[in-house]
Chains A and B, each alone.
Chain A
Amino acid sequence: MKKWIFCLITLLFVFLTTGCISYTELNELGIVGAIGIHYEDKQVVLSLQFIDAKKEENNSSYQTTLLVGTGNDMESAIDMIYQQSSRSVYFSHVAFMVLDESCQGHFQEIVSYFLKQEELRSSFPVVFLNQEITSEFFDLSDITFRLPSLLTVNHEEHATTLQVSFEDMARQYLEEESVLLPVFQADSSLMIDGAIWISNDTMIRFSKEEVMGILFLQDDIEQMELTIREDTETKKIRVLAETTILNITPMHLDIEIHSQIRSVDFPDATSFQKAYEDTVQSYIAKVLDQLNADHDFLHFKTVLFREDPKSSDDLIQWLNHFTYSFSFHTSFTSENSSMMGGDLK
């Protein structure tokens, strides 16, 4: 008797706990194809383009619906979108994310919110739009598929575009509190327009040619690391630098550069600065020699400084000013390439 009661309870439990309690129909699921983030008056304006797939007799097609939500944070913006659509937002199939200038200073919120979404696959590309994000951008035909494929084709075949996934962006922001994104222009059609480097208080734009230079010098390489130590008593500066093998293969060019700088002592920060400029100049001259370049482009080199915590405030301030942008202008209108000054940005 007890066995039968036990079996009955078990069967009831099996039927009650499994099954369709939390079942969601496909058309009740809001599959997000694209995300647009814009900030206005300290509020986030979140644009989500939903994909509605339809199966017809001979083919299957899809429609897109754009919904915009605003709020003090991402959660409230998503809630507003949910109220409009009555569909639960599903981030598993995001094709791209687009940001604009107003997102400067809000990357922490963007990165931390979307990293928490378990369904999100963070391999989708993130792009920067040269103008304010509006519904007209999402109205461009097939943008969910055109934009990612345009990025891929340009990156692989023409080497004029960065390809930055959300994961790359998050990693870069968490490590360096800055992001480097490809820029799109969307007037009547979709066009790639270089790249942009954004930190909390700085924005630096790069043209397509500059991006090519960045890809030449930055893509697939280990960064050059300089460890700077200052002797607080004598004010002497010791620099330990290491560069690793640089393999560049865009557009079927093979270049290998391997240089290593051992430890060097400098009497003070000024002489170090001059020596660094000289070192980078000779480094870039080597690249130019090997490239035998005859196109207009700018070189951009990122140097990562690892600060010694015992360094003085002056040195640290100077290093922070120095850290990311160090560009040399080169002119290739004549056969002789000439180096003109260097700009510290």
Chain B
Amino acid sequence: MKLIANRQVALLSFFLSQSIVCLYGFSFLFQQSGCDTLLTILGGTLLGIFFLIILVPKKSIKQKQSRLMALVLLLFFLFFGYDLLSQIANYIHFQMMPRISILMIAFSFLLLGSVISKKGIEQVARMSEILFFFFLFFFTISLIGLGPHFHFSYLKPLFTTEPLPLLLNCFYYAVLSVVPVLLLLIVPFPTREATSHKRSILWGYLGGSLILLLLAILSLGILGIPLVQQYAYPFVIILKKIMFFGTFGRFELILSLQFLFGMILSMILLLIAIRKQLRLVFSSFSFQKQEGLFVLSFLFLFLGATYIPHFPLPTFVLLCIFLVGMLLRRLLLFGKEKSTQP
């Protein structure tokens, strides 16, 4: 069994921290904060780092997970999973393939994720390394191509949002960026005993937040706040402006793939987490029956993303509940560790 290197963990954290924010974080933040979205991302990053410092243990200690906990987590992953799949399918449909049915996109995406999740976290970690090179390449081209269209004046006015809404928006950003990273604590990691990936996770998170900040700056600086608030994915719209030597343009479809990497990885890790929880909840079932249950989960995710009305509570509340649950669990564990120490 190959171990996962620290850099692979950092890269996973890098991609995961961007996934949900790109999907529905930006559109909400630009509506609420306007140009202060830049401050929101900075403040939210600090808050996210605080959450990760508390939640990520210093040492990787194997902890037993109760069946009840596994069932609760399974339900959370299933309901969050179909919302995530729906958002990803909508993103691909409206931004990349408008003439392809959302059903086909959701099914293909889910099938791809299921096949890769069966391979295990090691393959996913290796995948993240390869995807990072593509990401760097596309992002560099985007930066070079968008530079001439940037207006510093569009970044004003700053500090127009009241402090309380600004803090709430920072919390919103922190939740959206931290929760996918917490999947790394749920999925089984083949790692050396007592090895901590805390530093790698934090560095990856910081890198992801830096990319998101750059995307927000570029979106604001190129479109201006009135136009940015009209679009759900402004960071994709600005890619349409890239043209080299007045002739070579229309790269937006290829370049927008860079934003898909984080979404793919978050979906795959979610599926790995679902497999793990199924094994824990239905530990008495045979392997074939557990795989059959996974197929049922697959169908649930697919039907939920395409046909079933979404969970009544907004996804953000669901993520908050998960985060609070993880914080409480961490505090309880911390208390237990302290009480068992001589």
Please indicate whether A and B come from the same complex rather than being unrelated chains: yes
A interface, CB within 8 angstroms of B:
13, 17, 22, 24, 112, 115, 118-119, 121, 123, 167, 170-171, 174-175, 222
* A123:B153 contact, CB within 8 angstroms: no
- The closest CB in chain B to the CB of A88 belongs to B99
Interchain CB contact (< 8 A) of B108 among A17, A118, A167, A171: A17
B146 to chain A, nearest CB (A): 13
A171, B226: Cβ atoms closer than 8 Å: yes
10 CB contacts below 8 A, A to B, read A17-B104, A22-B100, A119-B98, A167-B223, A170-B226, A170-B227, A170-B230, A174-B229, A174-B230, A175-B224
For the complex, give the distance between the alpha carbons of A121 and B223 in Å: 13
A-B CB pair tally, cutoff 8 Å? 34
B195 CB, min distance to chain A CBs, angstroms: 37
A-B pairs, top 3 by smallest CB distance, nearest first, are A174-B226, A22-B99, A175-B226
- The residue on A at minimum CB distance from B108 is A17
Contact of B223 among A17, A112, A119, A171 (CB under 8 A): A171
Assess whether B240 is interfacial by the CB under 8 Å rule.
yes
CB-CB contacts below 8 Å: B105-158 with A: 107-108, 111, 153
Q: Are B153 and A174 in contact (CB under 8 A)?
A: no
> Using Cβ atoms and an 8 Å threshold, which residues of chain A touch B98?
118-119
Give me 4 other A-B pairs in contact (C-beta within 8 A), A119-B98, A167-B223 excluded: A17-B104, A171-B223, A174-B229, A175-B224
Contacts of A167 in B (CB 8 A): 223, 227
Residues of B near A119 (CB, < 8 A) are: 98
Task: Determine how close the nearest CB of chain A comes to the CB of B130; give it in whole angstroms.
Answer: 23
Interface membership of chain B positions 209-245, coded 1 if the CB is closer than 8 angstroms to chain A and 0 otherwise: 0000000000000011011011100000000110000
CB neighbours (8 Å) of A222 from chain B are: 153
Q: Is the CB of B240 within 8 A of A171?
A: no
Interchain CB contact under 8 A, A174 and B94: no
Given known contacts A22-B100, A118-B94, A222-B153, A174 and B240 CB-to-CB distance under 8 angstroms: no
Q: How far is the CA of A22 from the CA of B101 in the complex (A)?
A: 9
CA distance A319 to B187 in the complex (A): 61
Q: How far is the CB of A199 from chain B (nearest CB, A)?
A: 16
CA of A167 to CA of B230 in the docked complex: distance in angstroms? 12
**Cβ-closest chain B residue relative to A244:** B153
A22 to B104, CA, bound (A): 12
A24 touches B226 (CB 8 A): no
Q: Is B191 an interface residue (CB 8 A)?
A: no
Q: Which residues of A contact B315 (CB under 8 A)?
A: none
Nearest-neighbour CB distance to chain A for B148, whole angstroms, equals 13
Q: How far is the CB of B162 from chain A (nearest CB, A)?
A: 13
CB distance from A18 to the nearest CB of B (A): 8
Point out the residues of chain B lying under 8 angstroms from A22, CB to CB: 99-101
Q: Are B107 and A17 in contact (CB under 8 A)?
A: yes
B226→A118 contact, CB < 8 A:
no
CA distance A171 to B153 in the complex (A): 13
- Establish whether residues B94 and A123, one from each chain, have CB atoms under 8 Å apart when the complex forms: no
